[in-house]
Amino acid sequence: MTDNWGFYERRTGNDHMRVLVNIGYKAAAPLPDYPELLSVTVNLYPVRAQSRNNRQVIVQLEELESKLETWLSDKADAIYIGRINAATRLEFYYFLKEGRLDGAVFRQWLDENWAHRAQSYIKPDPEWEFYRFLLPTALEELYVHNAQMIYALIHKGDKIGEPRNVYHWLLFREDEDRLEMEDLLQREGYVIEKDKESKPEEDYPYPLVISRYEDVKLDTVNARVRDLHRLLDGVDGRYDGWGSTMRLSNVNRFRRYIRRRKDTAYSALRRMFACGHSQSNQNQAGKH
C-alpha cells in the first residue's frame, strides 16, 4: 500500500483539530486482516509545562511519534493511519492484526519511553469506521491541496506572508449561474479577471477566474476557499483551485538566479556533448 499523507484542519464545536491522515488506504479500507484500532493520547499540558519553548515541545512529540511507529511496526506489524493535534492533546491511531498486540505490554513500553501522561486503548473496529471519520470531506480535501501547495511554495523560498494577487478558478454548468456569481463576487470584494485563461470542462463549460490581493498563509487561503465553497453551494458550480505569483526574498531570488544559470550552463554542455558525439559518429562512419 502506498502512503499518501494529507493534512487539513477541522472545527467541530469549540474543538479545533489539525488532522494528518494516510489517504493511501482510502480505496482499500477496511483491511480484513487489521480489525483492531489502537489509540494513543498524549496530554500536552505537562509537556508544555516542563519545556523551555515550543520548539522543544515539537521535538519531543516528533521523537515519540517516530518511536511509536518503529516499535509498533516491528512488534505488531501495525499500520499508522493518522493523528489528531488539538489544543490540549495529541492522538495517534493505528490498525492492528487481531490479538497481535498485548495492551499491558504496550502500556509498559509507553511508560518506559514517555515521561508524561498518556492514555491508550485497543478496541475492535473491523469496518475502519474511525479511519473514515478521519478522511477529509470534499471541502477538507481542498484544505489538503492548499497545505501541499503552500508547503511547495515555502520549499521554493516563497515569502508566503507577503500579499500578492491570488487567483481562484471556478467552473459552472450554466452561463446564467456564472453571470450571477460575477455580480455577487464583485460585491464581496473580488476582482473579475476577464483576461485570465481558464479551460472549460465538458461537464462545466463556463469558467470564471477571480482574484484577491492578500497573502498565501494557510489560514488565509483556507478561509478564502471556505468562503468560495460556501458561495458555490447554492449553484451548480465547482471550485477548481487557486494560484499566485511567487514572492521571494532577495537571498532566495539570488539563489534561484544562480540555480537557473547553472541549469542553463548544464543544458548547454549537454547540447555541446551531444553535437560532438554526433559529429564523432559521423566521422567514424566516414572511415568505413
pLDDT bracket for residue 173 (50, 70, 90): very high
Out of 208, 226, 244, pick the residue that ends a domain.
Answer: 244
Confidence at residue 276, expressed as pLDDT on a 0 to 100 scale: 53
The verdict on 52 and 104 lying in the same domain is yes
> Residue 146 maps to which CATH number?
3.30.70.970
Confidence at residue 250, expressed as pLDDT on a 0 to 100 scale: 56
Lowest mean pLDDT segment, chosen from 1-5, 109-113, 118-122, 270-274: 270-274
How far apart (Å, rounded) are the C-alpha atoms in residues 92 and 60?
14
- Please tell me whether residues 64 and 164 are part of one structural domain: no
Domain that includes residue 30, residue range: 5-134
- Structural domain includes residue 21: yes
- Which pLDDT does position 265 carry in this prediction? 52
Whether 11 and 126 map to the same domain: the answer is yes
pLDDT digits (tens, 9 = 90+) for 42-88: 999 999 998 888 899 999 999 999 999 999 999 999 999 999 999 99
Last residue of a domain, one of 84, 118, 134: 134
Residue 12 lies in a domain: yes
- Asked if the structure places residue 268 within a domain, the reply is no
Q: Which CATH number covers residue 92?
A: 3.30.70
Average pLDDT over residues 118-139: 96
**What are the phi and psi torsion angles at 41 (to 5°)?**
-115, 125
Under the banding of pLDDT at 50, 70 and 90, the label for residue 3 is confident
159 and 219 both lie in a single domain? yes
Let me know whether 142 and 184 are in one domain: yes
Shared domain for 151 and 58, answered yes or no, is no
Is the same domain home to 220 and 203? yes
The mean predicted confidence, pLDDT, of the chain is: 88
For residues 142 and 112, state if they share a domain.
no
Point out the least confidently predicted range of 33-37, 171-175, 179-183, 256-260.
256-260
Q: Is the pLDDT of residue 7 over 70?
A: yes
pLDDT band per the 50, 70, 90 thresholds, residue 200: confident
Domain count for the chain, please give it. Answer: 2
Residues 71 and 176 in one domain: no
Q: Among 41-50, 108-117, 166-175, 277-286, whose mean pLDDT is lowest? A: 277-286
Domain membership flag for residue 144: yes
pLDDT, position 43: 95
Tell me the three cell numbers of residue 211. Answer: 482574484
Q: Using alpha carbons, list the distances in angstroms from residue 199 to 8, 146, 203, 212.
A: 28, 21, 12, 20
Of 244, 260, 281, which marks where a domain is finished? Answer: 244
**Residue 279: inside a domain, yes or no?**
no
- Based on the domain organization, do 130 and 27 belong to the same domain? yes
For the packed helices 54-76 and 103-113, what is the interaxial angle rounded to 10 degrees? 150
* Per-residue pLDDT band at 269 (split at 50, 70, 90): low
Q: Is 258 domain-assigned? A: no
Task: State whether 129 and 156 are in the same domain.
Answer: no
Mean pLDDT, residues 222-247: 92
Task: Identify the pLDDT of residue 11.
Answer: 86
Query: Across 193-249, where does the E strand assignment appear?
Result: 206-214, 237-244
Report the pLDDT averaged over residues 127-131: 98
Query: Is 115 in the same domain as 233?
Result: no
Band of the pLDDT at 198, cuts 50, 70, 90?
confident
Dihedral sign computed on CA atoms, order 237, 240, 217, 140: positive
Measured between its terminal Cα atoms, the distance across the chain in Å is 55
At residue 86, the pLDDT reads 94
| DSSP H helix total and E strand total for the chain | 8, 10
Name the residue with higher pLDDT: 170 or 3: 170
**CA 62 to CA 59: how far, in whole Å?**
5
Dihedral sign for Cα 253, 255, 259, 264, please.
Answer: positive
For residue 260, pLDDT over 90 is answered with no
- In this prediction, residue 128 has a pLDDT band, given cuts at 50, 70 and 90, of very high
pLDDT, tens digit, 9 for 90 and up, residues 77-125:
999 999 999 999 999 999 999 999 999 999 999 999 999 999 999 999 9
> What is the model's pLDDT at position 285?
46
The pLDDT of residue 288 is: 45
> Does a structural domain hold residue 34?
yes
Would residue 45 count as lying in a domain?
yes
